[in-house]
């Protein structure tokens, strides 16, 4: 079964890693949100792409969910000492990724080419693709004005109240060639448990600007018992006047969703969902959890009516 997984950061990376533990490299393509990308300290930073790649490579920091394991912080500590911006924490190993990616982009290489080379260097065998090689920039519209995503997410710690979202550049951004081909030959598309508003929507807007494919599309709810494991998805639903729940996730994707996976704590709520629903434990605390959830999701897809 050929699978395309759509992923944002931490939650998406975990399920992508689960799928990678089960599927052979040729059967899994992970298409990653780049709406969070930004330039900082002169470096081009792709937070979601790095989180997915580091996680697949076994290089991710298991405590933070972002950045590298066994990291040191000497560069950022010295930038701070010189009075430079320190709100975005860049580890010494991680900074190498941004420096070398920035160097290659300036040489004219595409983000997807660079990602392919980096994956090879890191021993990632499954295909990881940015959603686009053209810039898309997620802007969070808040009661304190429009904020570029990282400014909202990291610098302002998601405190401003959300009024809406905008994806600058999305109308002219093309899916990467590999993403297009993977979608065409996919037996199913899995929407990882990432933030629907700011991680998945930008990918969907780029990949499916006009209409959705006939391929089954299955989502794993990032909302468990009304909350998110990490990140502001539940807060965003609430601030937009929607009760945050697995049901709200199903409704967010209702125009095209074939089935949904929700957590066992939401088994009662699941009865209100009108599409095929798998109720299981979706919290991924260990590598084994990731593989089990991936396996159960694939099994669910295989048995869809």
**Is residue 108 near its own copies by the rule CB under 8 A?**
no
Q: At closest approach, how far in Å is the CB of 94 from its own copies?
A: 8
Helix (H) or strand (E) holding 118: helix 111-122
Using the 8-state DSSP alphabet, how is residue 65 labeled? S
**Is residue 106 near its own copies by the rule CB under 8 A?**
yes
**Is residue 93 near its own copies by the rule CB under 8 A?**
yes
Q: At closest approach, how far in Å is the CB of 83 from its own copies?
A: 6
**Is residue 72 near its own copies by the rule CB under 8 A?**
yes
**Is residue 280 near its own copies by the rule CB under 8 A?**
no
**Is residue 84 near its own copies by the rule CB under 8 A?**
yes
The answer to whether residues 275 and 258 touch, using CB atoms and an 8 Å cutoff, is: yes
Residue 39 — φ and ψ, nearest 5°? -105, 130
Burial class (CB in 10 A: 0-12, 13-18, 19+), 3: buried
**Is residue 268 near its own copies by the rule CB under 8 A?**
no
Distance CA 189, CA 166 (A): 24
Tell me whether residue 105 or residue 158 sits nearer to its own copies (CB atom): 105
Query: Could you tell me which of 266, 186, 267, 198 has the C-alpha nearest to residue 226?
Result: 266
Range 118-137, binding its own copies (CB under 8 A): 118, 121-122
Q: How many residues bind its own copies (CB under 8 A)?
A: 31
**Is residue 95 near its own copies by the rule CB under 8 A?**
yes
**Is residue 75 near its own copies by the rule CB under 8 A?**
yes
**How many C-beta atoms surround the C-beta of residue 215 within 10 A?**
16
Q: At closest approach, how far in Å is the CB of 51 from its own copies?
A: 16
Sign of CA dihedral 195, 200, 201, 203: positive
> With left for phi above 0 and alpha for psi between -120 and 50, is residue 253 left, alpha or beta?
alpha
In the complex, the residues that contact its own copies under the rule CB under 8 A are 41-43, 71-72, 74-79, 81-85, 91-93, 95-97, 99-100, 102-103, 106, 117-118, 121-122
């Amino acid at each position: 079964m050929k699978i395309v997984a759509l992923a944002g950061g931490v939650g998406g990376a975990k399920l992508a890693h689960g799928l990678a533990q089960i599927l052979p490299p040729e059967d899994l393509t992970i298409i990653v949100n780049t709406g969070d990308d930004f330039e900082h300290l002169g470096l081009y930073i792709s937070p979601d792409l790095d989180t997915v790649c580091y996680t697949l490579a076994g290089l991710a920091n298991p405590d933070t969910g972002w950045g590298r394991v066994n990291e040191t912080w000497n560069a950022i500590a010295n930038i701070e000492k010189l009075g430079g911006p320190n709100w975005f924490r860049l580890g010494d190993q991680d900074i190498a990724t941004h420096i070398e990616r920035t160097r290659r982009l300036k040489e004219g290489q595409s983000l997807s080419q660079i990602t392919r080379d980096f994956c090879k260097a890191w021993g990632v065998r499954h295909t990881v693709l940015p959603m686009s090689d053209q810039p898309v920039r997620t802007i969070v519209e808040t009661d304190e004005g429009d904020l570029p995503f990282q400014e909202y997410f990291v610098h302002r710690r998601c405190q401003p109240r959300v009024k809406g979202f905008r994806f600058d550049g999305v109308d002219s951004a093309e899916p990467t060639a590999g993403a297009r081909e993977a979608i065409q030959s996919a037996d199913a598309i899995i929407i990882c448990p990432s933030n629907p508003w700011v991680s998945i929507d930008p990918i969907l807007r780029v990949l499916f600007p006009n209409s959705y494919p006939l391929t089954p599309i299955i989502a794993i709810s990032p909302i468990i018992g009304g909350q998110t494991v990490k990140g502001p998805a539940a807060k965003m639903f609430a601030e937009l006047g929607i009760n945050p729940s697995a049901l709200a996730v199903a409704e967010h994707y209702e125009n095209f969703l074939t089935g949904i996976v929700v957590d066992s704590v939401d088994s009662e709520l699941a009865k209100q969902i009108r599409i095929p629903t798998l109720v299981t434990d979706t919290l991924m605390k260990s590598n084994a959890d990731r593989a089990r959830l991936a396996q159960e999701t694939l099994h669910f897809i295989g048995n869809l009516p």
